[in-house]
Structure 1
Amino acid sequence: MKLSVALCTYNGSKFIEQQINSILNQTTKVDEIIVCDDKSTDATVSILKEIQVANPCIVIIENEINLRSTKNFEKAIQLCSGDYIFLADQDDLWNTEKVAKTLAIFNENLTAEGVFTNADLIDDNGTKLSNKTIWDSVFFFEKEMQKPIDFVDIIFKNGNIVTGATLCIKKEVKSFIFPFSKDNLHDEWIASLLAFKNTLYYSSENLISYRIHDNQQIGMKNLDKMEKITRKKRVILGLDIPNSFSEYRFLLKKIFLKKKEIVNFQKYNFDFIDFQKLQSENNIEWELISEKTKSAFPIRYKITSLIDAILGKRTL
């Protein structure tokens, strides 16, 4: 069994040595670390080359042009030769047992093709920010959700809950994820396809420390807004019942957006996605929530439905 890490860098000199060392110091050693540097203008590559001298498992690829995060990860994953491929950001820290505990989830779930985990949140200095985790920041209330979890429903209504820096995939996944969609970030794209296949699994352990800092290309945007939008997110996820017209309206909007996303995926012709079944289930949910909204708020429902029809909203 060969283990790979797909690591993308861009001007990451401040934290890259700490991250590389956390990957090298795993209880279960990785065989290769494929680093794709996206035209860094700082000392990132120099630092990597210094570490590489004593660690030939590190392979450094310097991009000729700046690809940005999603395309850079596409390239890095393609270059990995391992049976399992761990995705990594340049500024995080891995728990020493991240690799071992992730592989254990695969071993316990033989149909798994991808495993993601929870994570602590840390600042520039590596100090834990709070008792909140990365799952809190993406509103993945795993403990309260009905099992098995419907990841398609969550991703298309709530938003992506799979942070790429925590994700590991089997090499077989490479046969259907390329090329990455232009409309999705790399982790959302991979997570969506694994969700469709019902091969996405997780560990609730915090197996990395995810760093929050000002120079992130992509990072957590919700930390200062979490309390304000948690109620709506809980309604979307079916954990709380809507108690106002605006909440019913918001839920209907998200159900429609899920339908729209499913339609968008049809153009890729994935044979493992039962689009007819998904659309049927979504239509049933739409009708059910529509009837509840109409019953609870008949006049407002009639007026907003008329306005939607005039403006062409909620139509594909």
Structure 2
Amino acid sequence: MVNQNVVICMSTYNGEQFLPQQLDSLIAQDYPHWQLLVHDDGSGDHTQQILAEYSQRDQRIQVRADTPHLGVVKAFLSLLAEQDADYYFFSDQDDVWAPNKLSQMIAVAKDFEPTLPGLWHCGFVQIDADGVELPEQNWHLYKDASFKGYLLNNNVIGCTTMFNRQARDLVVAKWAQMDVSALFMHDWLIALIASGLGQVLTVDQPLVGYRQHANNVVGAQGQHRWRKLLDRLTLKKKLKIWQICRQDQQFMALYGQQLTPANQELGQFMADLLHRWRPLKQVRFAKQHHLTMHAKARDVQFRLFLWLPLALRQRLF
């Protein structure tokens, strides 16, 4: 196999507890041609000291110095402009990668059409704070890799992804015009790009130990689950369908002209939900094109959203 250059992007924040285990798992990869680019988002613990020690030990680890607080989405996406590579990976600070993760995913991608943006995501096992595998939970609720599917749903978890330079270049090209606050998550944006303009593919191997603990930014169990539920009940935060429509609107503004006519129609439908109230037409369109959210409770929310006047949509969602 011809050596492919790999860039791994990591954003850290107060990650001292698990960060060394993840860095060790990267160093242990059987594919050596990688560089790790790290943005620390203002940690107040020993995270920066750990990163400094590892970067001295392994020159492939590069820590971006003196950068401001960016938030998780902007931090990850901004790292993509730092260095050209054949493939890009996102890495969380608290997971553990199988030693053959890079080699297996690169091998699967070798026959992909090089002019198209592509994203691959692998399987994973959930582990607890002690690294013990948790009982199986159904995270991959669906395998719809179409653009239509990603307009309303996301089964791509950042730490399981690899995407090619063509997908990365599309992010970098639009960076100056991008409203990052409108994006739900960085991995979802790449999935929209790949599904709309190229392809999303799966690697049917569990290559990541996806750690679940009380301080997860995304996917946490336990006390944060109840806090998020309370926020939703009190409408402290916008509910998910509003955020998804904002993301789709942003995607269409940036990339809509490059889509096929059929995908343009689907994407514009979602973007228009923020400022057009045509309930009968919108309900009919969603039914005709089988636009659904795969979690039942979320789909009920979506159906309700279609009927509500714009003022109520903005107030409730």
Query: What TM-score do the two structures reach when normalised by structure 2?
Result: 0.71
Who is 1:208 aligned against?
A: 208
1: CA distance between counterparts of 2:148 and 2:224? 25
Amino acid of the structure 2 residue aligned with 1:273:
L
Who is 1:124 aligned against?
A: 129
Who is 1:194 aligned against?
A: 194
Shift of 1:255: 11
Shift of 1:311: 7.5
Amino acid of the structure 2 residue aligned with 1:183:
A
How far does the alpha carbon of each residue in 1:60-111 deviate from its partner, in whole angstroms, 9 at most, with x for none?
1134321110111022222133221111010000011100111022114335
Q: Say whether 1:24 aligns with 2:27.
A: yes
Change (3 A) 1:263 1:66: closer
Change (3 A) 1:15 1:270: same
Partner SS for 1:127: coil
Who is 1:141 aligned against?
A: 142
How far does the alpha carbon of each residue in 1:254-302 deviate from its partner, in whole angstroms, 9 at most, with x for none?
9999888755533225432125555279789935847x9xxxxxxxxxx
Who is 1:236 aligned against?
A: none
Q: Which runs of 5+ in 2 are unaligned?
A: 226-239, 270-280, 291-302
Q: How does 1:100-179 map to 2 (within 5 A)?
A: 100-110=103-113, 111=116, 113-132=118-137, 136-137=138-139, 139-142=140-143, 149-157=144-152, 159-178=153-172, 179=175
1: CA distance between counterparts of 2:222 and 2:284? 27
The 8 Å contact of residues 194 and 200 in structure 1, kept in 2 or not, is answered as yes
Who is 2:299 aligned against?
A: none
Who is 1:36 aligned against?
A: 39
Amino acid of the structure 2 residue aligned with 1:49:
A
2: CA distance between counterparts of 1:35 and 1:310? 44
How far does the alpha carbon of each residue in 1:15-56 deviate from its partner, in whole angstroms, 9 at most, with x for none?
111001101111111331111111111111111222222211
Change (3 A) 1:183 1:101: same
Partner SS for 1:271: helix
Who is 2:278 aligned against?
A: none
Change (3 A) 1:63 1:121: farther
Who is 1:242 aligned against?
A: none
Partner SS for 2:135: strand
The 8 Å contact of residues 121 and 210 in structure 1, kept in 2 or not, is answered as yes
Q: CA RMSD for the aligned pairs? A: 3.6
How far does the alpha carbon of each residue in 1:125-144 deviate from its partner, in whole angstroms, 9 at most, with x for none?
01111122xxx22x4333xx
Q: Say whether 1:272 aligns with 2:258.
A: yes
Q: Size of the alignment, in residue pairs? A: 263
2: CA distance between counterparts of 1:267 and 1:152? 16
Greater C-alpha radius of gyration: 1
Shift of 1:175: 2.2
1: CA distance between counterparts of 2:135 and 2:223? 11
Amino acid of the structure 2 residue aligned with 1:167:
T
Who is 2:296 aligned against?
A: none
2: CA distance between counterparts of 1:265 and 1:30? 32
Which stretch of the first structure deviates more once superposed, 50-59 or 84-93?
Answer: 50-59
Amino acid of the structure 1 residue aligned with 2:265:
Q
2:97 to 94, 107, 131: 94
Amino acid of the structure 2 residue aligned with 1:83:
D
Change (3 A) 1:108 1:11: same
Q: Which runs of 5+ in 1 are unaligned?
A: 143-148, 226-253, 293-303
The 8 Å contact of residues 182 and 250 in structure 2, kept in 1 or not, is answered as no
2: CA distance between counterparts of 1:91 and 1:280? 36
1: CA distance between counterparts of 2:130 and 2:119? 31
Shift of 1:223: 12
1: CA distance between counterparts of 2:215 and 2:287? 42
Change (3 A) 1:194 1:222: farther
The 8 Å contact of residues 158 and 186 in structure 2, kept in 1 or not, is answered as yes
2: CA distance between counterparts of 1:194 and 1:264? 16
Partner SS for 1:182: helix
Change (3 A) 1:192 1:23: same
Who is 2:218 aligned against?
A: 218
Change (3 A) 1:280 1:165: closer
The 8 Å contact of residues 38 and 63 in structure 1, kept in 2 or not, is answered as no
